[in-house]
Amino acid sequence: MKLALPVEILGTGAAVPARVVTNADFAAYLDTNDEWIVTRTGIRERRHASEGESTIQFAVAAARLALERARVDASELDLIICATVTPEYHLPATACLIQAAIGARQVPAYDLSASCAGFIYAFTAASQAIMGGTARTALVVGVDVLSRFTEFQDRGTAIIFGDGGGAVVLRRSESDGPRVLSINTGADGNHARLIWVPAGGTKDPASPRTVNERLHAIRMNGREVYKIAVVRLQQLIQQALDDGGVTIDQIKLLVPHQSNLRIIESVCEKLKLPLERVVVNINRYGNTSAGSIPLALHEALLAGRCGPGDLVLMAAIGAGLAWGSVLLRL
Ligand code: COA
Protein backbone atom coordinates (compact mmCIF):
# COMPACT_ATOMS: atom_id res chain seq x y z
CA MET A 1 0.00 0.00 0.00
CA LYS A 2 1.34 3.40 -0.98
CA LEU A 3 1.80 5.59 2.08
CA ALA A 4 3.45 8.82 3.08
CA LEU A 5 3.82 8.57 6.83
CA PRO A 6 6.08 10.94 8.75
CA VAL A 7 7.17 8.16 11.12
CA GLU A 8 10.88 7.75 11.75
CA ILE A 9 13.18 5.32 13.48
CA LEU A 10 14.97 7.21 16.25
CA GLY A 11 17.11 4.34 17.48
CA THR A 12 17.68 0.61 17.25
CA GLY A 13 18.97 -2.06 19.60
CA ALA A 14 19.54 -5.80 19.58
CA ALA A 15 20.50 -8.60 21.91
CA VAL A 16 21.43 -12.26 21.46
CA PRO A 17 22.48 -14.97 23.89
CA ALA A 18 26.20 -15.44 24.48
CA ARG A 19 26.05 -19.20 23.87
CA VAL A 20 27.19 -20.11 20.35
CA VAL A 21 25.99 -23.39 18.84
CA THR A 22 27.98 -24.41 15.77
CA ASN A 23 27.10 -26.85 13.00
CA ALA A 24 29.73 -29.17 14.44
CA ASP A 25 27.73 -29.27 17.67
CA PHE A 26 24.81 -30.79 15.72
CA ALA A 27 27.01 -33.07 13.65
CA ALA A 28 28.35 -34.50 16.92
CA TYR A 29 25.04 -36.23 17.65
CA LEU A 30 22.80 -35.93 14.55
CA ASP A 31 23.05 -37.36 11.04
CA THR A 32 24.10 -34.03 9.54
CA ASN A 33 27.25 -32.11 8.72
CA ASP A 34 28.58 -28.60 8.35
CA GLU A 35 28.72 -28.77 4.56
CA TRP A 36 25.04 -29.80 4.24
CA ILE A 37 23.88 -27.09 6.61
CA VAL A 38 25.99 -24.33 5.03
CA THR A 39 25.07 -25.16 1.44
CA ARG A 40 21.34 -25.64 2.13
CA THR A 41 20.83 -22.78 4.57
CA GLY A 42 23.89 -20.52 4.83
CA ILE A 43 23.94 -21.05 8.60
CA ARG A 44 27.30 -21.63 10.28
CA GLU A 45 26.33 -20.95 13.86
CA ARG A 46 23.44 -19.63 15.91
CA ARG A 47 22.93 -18.43 19.47
CA HIS A 48 20.88 -20.39 21.98
CA ALA A 49 19.62 -19.18 25.34
CA SER A 50 21.38 -20.79 28.28
CA GLU A 51 19.56 -22.25 31.22
CA GLY A 52 18.05 -19.42 33.21
CA GLU A 53 17.74 -17.15 30.17
CA SER A 54 14.41 -16.47 28.50
CA THR A 55 12.70 -14.09 26.09
CA ILE A 56 12.54 -11.15 28.49
CA GLN A 57 16.32 -10.73 28.89
CA PHE A 58 16.87 -10.25 25.20
CA ALA A 59 13.75 -8.12 24.78
CA VAL A 60 14.71 -5.77 27.58
CA ALA A 61 18.37 -5.53 26.57
CA ALA A 62 17.38 -4.69 22.98
CA ALA A 63 14.75 -2.19 24.17
CA ARG A 64 17.17 -0.41 26.54
CA LEU A 65 19.79 -0.10 23.81
CA ALA A 66 17.23 1.23 21.31
CA LEU A 67 16.06 3.84 23.83
CA GLU A 68 19.63 4.84 24.62
CA ARG A 69 20.57 5.20 20.97
CA ALA A 70 17.34 7.12 20.31
CA ARG A 71 18.11 9.38 23.31
CA VAL A 72 14.58 8.74 24.47
CA ASP A 73 13.65 8.11 28.09
CA ALA A 74 11.33 5.17 28.75
CA SER A 75 8.88 7.62 30.32
CA GLU A 76 8.38 9.21 26.89
CA LEU A 77 6.94 6.03 25.39
CA ASP A 78 3.23 5.99 24.59
CA LEU A 79 3.03 2.43 23.26
CA ILE A 80 4.96 -0.85 23.54
CA ILE A 81 4.43 -3.72 21.13
CA CYS A 82 6.35 -6.96 21.37
CA ALA A 83 6.28 -9.27 18.35
CA THR A 84 6.97 -12.81 19.47
CA VAL A 85 5.72 -16.37 19.15
CA THR A 86 7.83 -17.43 22.12
CA PRO A 87 6.54 -15.20 24.91
CA GLU A 88 7.86 -15.33 28.45
CA TYR A 89 4.51 -16.76 29.54
CA HIS A 90 1.22 -17.57 27.82
CA LEU A 91 -0.07 -14.65 29.86
CA PRO A 92 0.47 -11.84 30.64
CA ALA A 93 1.95 -10.28 27.52
CA THR A 94 5.74 -10.06 27.38
CA ALA A 95 5.27 -6.40 26.41
CA CYS A 96 3.90 -5.75 29.93
CA LEU A 97 7.02 -7.30 31.43
CA ILE A 98 9.18 -5.11 29.19
CA GLN A 99 7.18 -2.06 30.24
CA ALA A 100 7.82 -2.75 33.92
CA ALA A 101 11.49 -3.61 33.39
CA ILE A 102 12.34 -0.44 31.49
CA GLY A 103 10.24 1.80 33.74
CA ALA A 104 7.76 3.01 31.13
CA ARG A 105 4.53 4.72 32.11
CA GLN A 106 1.18 2.85 32.21
CA VAL A 107 0.81 2.99 28.45
CA PRO A 108 -0.69 0.27 26.21
CA ALA A 109 1.61 -2.76 26.02
CA TYR A 110 0.71 -5.86 24.05
CA ASP A 111 2.17 -8.83 22.19
CA LEU A 112 1.62 -9.57 18.56
CA SER A 113 1.95 -13.01 17.00
CA ALA A 114 2.94 -13.10 13.35
CA SER A 115 6.03 -15.31 13.62
CA CYS A 116 8.82 -14.24 11.25
CA ALA A 117 6.70 -11.36 9.92
CA GLY A 118 5.97 -10.26 13.49
CA PHE A 119 8.33 -7.29 13.51
CA ILE A 120 6.84 -5.95 10.26
CA TYR A 121 3.32 -6.35 11.64
CA ALA A 122 4.29 -4.63 14.88
CA PHE A 123 6.06 -1.82 13.02
CA THR A 124 2.87 -1.38 11.00
CA ALA A 125 0.65 -1.30 14.09
CA ALA A 126 2.91 1.21 15.83
CA SER A 127 3.08 3.44 12.73
CA GLN A 128 -0.70 3.39 12.50
CA ALA A 129 -1.02 4.33 16.17
CA ILE A 130 1.40 7.20 15.66
CA MET A 131 -0.44 8.42 12.58
CA GLY A 132 -3.82 7.94 14.29
CA GLY A 133 -2.65 10.21 17.07
CA THR A 134 -2.90 7.73 19.95
CA ALA A 135 0.88 7.58 20.34
CA ARG A 136 3.75 9.94 19.61
CA THR A 137 6.60 7.64 20.56
CA ALA A 138 6.46 3.85 20.34
CA LEU A 139 8.76 0.96 21.18
CA VAL A 140 8.59 -2.03 18.87
CA VAL A 141 10.41 -5.19 19.93
CA GLY A 142 10.85 -8.32 17.81
CA VAL A 143 12.19 -11.25 19.80
CA ASP A 144 12.07 -15.03 19.81
CA VAL A 145 13.67 -17.89 21.70
CA LEU A 146 12.75 -20.77 19.45
CA SER A 147 15.36 -23.06 20.95
CA ARG A 148 12.81 -23.63 23.71
CA PHE A 149 10.41 -25.08 21.12
CA THR A 150 12.88 -27.11 19.10
CA GLU A 151 13.06 -30.87 18.82
CA PHE A 152 16.82 -31.34 18.84
CA GLN A 153 16.53 -34.81 17.33
CA ASP A 154 14.81 -33.40 14.21
CA ARG A 155 17.65 -32.47 11.88
CA GLY A 156 15.28 -30.60 9.55
CA THR A 157 14.41 -27.95 12.16
CA ALA A 158 17.06 -28.17 14.90
CA ILE A 159 19.74 -26.55 12.76
CA ILE A 160 17.59 -23.67 11.53
CA PHE A 161 16.52 -21.61 14.48
CA GLY A 162 18.45 -19.25 16.73
CA ASP A 163 17.49 -16.98 19.62
CA GLY A 164 17.61 -13.22 19.95
CA GLY A 165 15.87 -10.02 19.08
CA GLY A 166 15.93 -6.36 18.32
CA ALA A 167 14.00 -3.19 18.98
CA VAL A 168 13.27 0.18 17.43
CA VAL A 169 11.98 3.43 18.85
CA LEU A 170 9.56 5.12 16.46
CA ARG A 171 8.32 8.69 16.60
CA ARG A 172 6.23 10.98 14.47
CA SER A 173 8.82 13.06 12.65
CA GLU A 174 8.36 16.79 12.83
CA SER A 175 10.46 17.63 9.79
CA ASP A 176 11.41 16.71 6.24
CA GLY A 177 8.37 14.81 5.03
CA PRO A 178 7.34 11.19 4.83
CA ARG A 179 9.63 8.42 5.99
CA VAL A 180 7.45 5.33 5.59
CA LEU A 181 6.69 5.09 1.87
CA SER A 182 4.88 1.77 1.66
CA ILE A 183 3.67 -1.04 3.87
CA ASN A 184 2.29 -4.37 2.69
CA THR A 185 1.12 -7.13 4.99
CA GLY A 186 -0.81 -10.29 4.28
CA ALA A 187 -1.42 -13.87 5.33
CA ASP A 188 -2.70 -17.18 4.00
CA GLY A 189 -4.03 -19.44 6.73
CA ASN A 190 -4.50 -22.27 4.26
CA HIS A 191 -0.83 -22.95 4.89
CA ALA A 192 -1.17 -22.77 8.68
CA ARG A 193 0.35 -26.19 9.29
CA LEU A 194 3.44 -25.81 7.16
CA ILE A 195 5.18 -24.40 10.25
CA TRP A 196 3.47 -25.01 13.56
CA VAL A 197 3.66 -26.20 17.14
CA PRO A 198 0.90 -28.83 17.51
CA ALA A 199 0.31 -28.75 21.28
CA GLY A 200 0.21 -26.34 24.18
CA GLY A 201 -2.77 -24.36 22.94
CA THR A 202 -6.49 -24.99 23.57
CA LYS A 203 -6.66 -27.63 20.84
CA ASP A 204 -4.25 -29.93 22.63
CA PRO A 205 -3.25 -28.55 26.02
CA ALA A 206 -0.03 -29.61 27.68
CA SER A 207 -0.21 -33.08 29.19
CA PRO A 208 2.22 -35.95 29.83
CA ARG A 209 1.16 -37.35 26.44
CA THR A 210 1.94 -34.13 24.52
CA VAL A 211 5.31 -33.92 26.23
CA ASN A 212 6.12 -37.58 25.53
CA GLU A 213 5.14 -37.20 21.90
CA ARG A 214 7.28 -34.04 21.59
CA LEU A 215 4.27 -32.07 20.41
CA HIS A 216 5.52 -28.78 21.88
CA ALA A 217 8.25 -28.41 19.31
CA ILE A 218 8.13 -26.76 15.90
CA ARG A 219 7.11 -28.90 12.96
CA MET A 220 8.02 -27.61 9.54
CA ASN A 221 7.56 -28.71 5.96
CA GLY A 222 10.72 -26.96 4.86
CA ARG A 223 10.49 -27.83 1.20
CA GLU A 224 6.96 -26.42 0.80
CA VAL A 225 7.79 -23.31 2.82
CA TYR A 226 10.84 -22.78 0.66
CA LYS A 227 8.85 -22.92 -2.60
CA ILE A 228 6.24 -20.45 -1.40
CA ALA A 229 8.73 -18.13 0.31
CA VAL A 230 10.87 -17.62 -2.79
CA VAL A 231 7.90 -16.53 -4.90
CA ARG A 232 6.05 -14.53 -2.24
CA LEU A 233 9.11 -12.64 -1.04
CA GLN A 234 9.94 -11.51 -4.54
CA GLN A 235 6.35 -10.38 -5.15
CA LEU A 236 6.33 -8.60 -1.81
CA ILE A 237 9.50 -6.67 -2.58
CA GLN A 238 8.34 -5.75 -6.07
CA GLN A 239 5.01 -4.55 -4.66
CA ALA A 240 6.81 -2.46 -2.04
CA LEU A 241 8.92 -0.83 -4.74
CA ASP A 242 5.94 -0.19 -7.02
CA ASP A 243 3.84 1.25 -4.21
CA GLY A 244 6.70 3.45 -3.05
CA GLY A 245 7.34 4.64 -6.60
CA VAL A 246 11.00 3.64 -6.50
CA THR A 247 13.20 1.19 -8.39
CA ILE A 248 15.43 -1.50 -6.96
CA ASP A 249 18.49 0.60 -7.92
CA GLN A 250 17.39 3.27 -5.45
CA ILE A 251 17.32 0.85 -2.53
CA LYS A 252 20.40 1.34 -0.40
CA LEU A 253 19.79 -1.78 1.64
CA LEU A 254 17.39 -4.70 1.65
CA VAL A 255 16.86 -6.12 5.13
CA PRO A 256 15.21 -9.49 4.53
CA HIS A 257 14.07 -11.94 7.16
CA GLN A 258 16.97 -14.35 7.67
CA SER A 259 15.27 -17.66 6.93
CA ASN A 260 17.60 -19.25 4.40
CA LEU A 261 20.53 -17.80 2.43
CA ARG A 262 19.39 -19.64 -0.71
CA ILE A 263 15.97 -17.98 -0.50
CA ILE A 264 17.60 -14.55 -0.12
CA GLU A 265 20.05 -15.17 -2.98
CA SER A 266 17.40 -16.49 -5.32
CA VAL A 267 15.07 -13.53 -4.67
CA CYS A 268 17.90 -11.02 -5.12
CA GLU A 269 19.00 -12.63 -8.34
CA LYS A 270 15.50 -12.31 -9.78
CA LEU A 271 15.31 -8.69 -8.61
CA LYS A 272 18.82 -8.02 -9.96
CA LEU A 273 19.88 -6.74 -6.57
CA PRO A 274 23.57 -7.37 -5.77
CA LEU A 275 24.14 -9.07 -2.42
CA GLU A 276 26.38 -6.17 -1.34
CA ARG A 277 23.13 -4.24 -0.83
CA VAL A 278 21.50 -6.96 1.24
CA VAL A 279 21.91 -7.58 4.95
CA VAL A 280 22.89 -11.18 5.58
CA ASN A 281 23.73 -12.38 9.07
CA ILE A 282 22.02 -15.78 8.99
CA ASN A 283 25.50 -17.34 8.97
CA ARG A 284 25.97 -16.13 12.56
CA TYR A 285 22.46 -16.21 14.00
CA GLY A 286 20.32 -18.69 12.06
CA ASN A 287 16.62 -17.87 11.81
CA THR A 288 15.63 -15.78 14.83
CA SER A 289 12.00 -15.40 13.72
CA ALA A 290 10.58 -12.02 14.84
CA GLY A 291 14.05 -11.02 16.03
CA SER A 292 15.71 -11.31 12.66
CA ILE A 293 14.84 -8.03 10.93
CA PRO A 294 15.45 -5.63 13.83
CA LEU A 295 18.68 -7.48 14.63
CA ALA A 296 19.85 -7.23 11.01
CA LEU A 297 18.82 -3.58 10.75
CA HIS A 298 20.64 -2.71 13.97
CA GLU A 299 23.83 -4.39 12.79
CA ALA A 300 23.62 -2.67 9.40
CA LEU A 301 23.25 0.74 11.03
CA LEU A 302 26.15 0.08 13.41
CA ALA A 303 28.31 -0.97 10.47
CA GLY A 304 27.42 2.23 8.62
CA ARG A 305 25.84 0.31 5.75
CA CYS A 306 22.92 2.72 5.73
CA GLY A 307 22.20 6.08 7.27
CA PRO A 308 20.01 9.19 7.18
CA GLY A 309 18.22 9.69 3.88
CA ASP A 310 18.81 6.16 2.61
CA LEU A 311 15.99 3.99 1.29
CA VAL A 312 15.73 0.74 3.22
CA LEU A 313 13.34 -2.10 2.47
CA MET A 314 12.46 -4.71 5.09
CA ALA A 315 10.58 -7.86 4.05
CA ALA A 316 9.62 -11.13 5.72
CA ILE A 317 7.54 -14.26 5.39
CA GLY A 318 7.00 -16.98 7.94
CA ALA A 319 4.54 -19.19 9.78
CA GLY A 320 0.90 -18.37 9.18
CA LEU A 321 1.85 -18.10 6.47
CA ALA A 322 2.16 -14.40 7.20
CA TRP A 323 4.24 -11.85 5.36
CA GLY A 324 4.98 -8.16 5.25
CA SER A 325 7.24 -5.38 3.99
CA VAL A 326 8.08 -1.82 4.97
CA LEU A 327 9.81 0.64 2.66
CA LEU A 328 11.25 3.58 4.52
CA ARG A 329 13.62 6.49 4.21
CA LEU A 330 15.92 6.58 7.19
N1 COA B 1 21.35 -32.54 7.53
C2 COA B 1 21.39 -33.48 6.59
N3 COA B 1 20.30 -33.86 5.88
C4 COA B 1 19.13 -33.24 6.16
C5 COA B 1 19.03 -32.26 7.15
C6 COA B 1 20.20 -31.92 7.85
N7 COA B 1 20.21 -30.98 8.82
N8 COA B 1 17.76 -31.82 7.20
C9 COA B 1 17.07 -32.52 6.29
N10 COA B 1 17.91 -33.40 5.67
C11 COA B 1 17.61 -34.35 4.62
C12 COA B 1 16.15 -34.75 4.61
O13 COA B 1 15.89 -35.72 5.57
C14 COA B 1 16.01 -35.26 3.22
O15 COA B 1 16.51 -36.55 3.14
P16 COA B 1 15.81 -37.66 2.23
O17 COA B 1 15.93 -37.14 0.83
O18 COA B 1 16.62 -38.88 2.53
O19 COA B 1 14.39 -37.72 2.72
C20 COA B 1 16.94 -34.36 2.41
O21 COA B 1 17.84 -33.77 3.35
C22 COA B 1 16.22 -33.26 1.67
O23 COA B 1 15.29 -32.67 2.56
P24 COA B 1 14.52 -31.35 2.23
O25 COA B 1 13.66 -30.97 3.38
O26 COA B 1 13.87 -31.46 0.90
O27 COA B 1 15.77 -30.38 2.12
P28 COA B 1 15.84 -28.91 1.58
O29 COA B 1 16.85 -28.80 0.55
O30 COA B 1 14.47 -28.39 1.27
O31 COA B 1 16.39 -28.13 2.84
C32 COA B 1 15.55 -26.74 4.57
C33 COA B 1 15.69 -28.13 4.05
C34 COA B 1 14.77 -26.75 5.86
C35 COA B 1 16.94 -26.19 4.82
C36 COA B 1 14.85 -25.89 3.49
O37 COA B 1 13.71 -26.56 3.04
C38 COA B 1 14.43 -24.55 4.00
O39 COA B 1 15.23 -23.77 4.45
N40 COA B 1 13.16 -24.23 3.83
C41 COA B 1 12.62 -22.98 4.23
C42 COA B 1 12.38 -23.01 5.67
C43 COA B 1 12.08 -21.68 6.20
O44 COA B 1 12.43 -20.68 5.64
N45 COA B 1 11.45 -21.70 7.35
C46 COA B 1 11.22 -20.59 8.12
C47 COA B 1 10.28 -19.66 7.52
S48 COA B 1 10.22 -18.39 8.65
Span 109-165, pLDDT tens digits:
999 999 999 999 999 999 999 999 999 999 999 999 999 999 999 999 999 999 999
Helix (H) / strand (E) containing 280: none
Is the pLDDT at 177 greater than 90? The verdict is no
Q: Which of 23, 151, 260, 317 to mutate to test the pocket of ligand 1 (most atoms within 8 A of CB)?
A: 260
Judge contact between 316 and 114, C-beta under 8 A. no
The dihedrals phi and psi of 152, each to the nearest 5 degrees, come to: -75, -5
**Whether 287 is catalytic:** yes
Closest ligand 1 atom to residue 158 Cα is 7
Domains of the chain (ranges, CATH numbers): 1-330 (3.40.47.10)
**Whether 191 is catalytic:** no
pLDDT of residue 16: 98
pLDDT of residue 2: 80
Where does the pLDDT of residue 174 fall: very low under 50, low under 70, confident under 90, or very high at 90 and above? confident
Which of the following is catalytic: 23, 184, 260, 287?
Answer: 287
pLDDT of residue 5: 78
pLDDT of residue 267: 97
Judge contact between 102 and 137, C-beta under 8 A. no
pTM of whole model > 0.75? yes
- Cβ neighbors of 246 (< 8 A, separation 6 or more) are 181, 311, 327
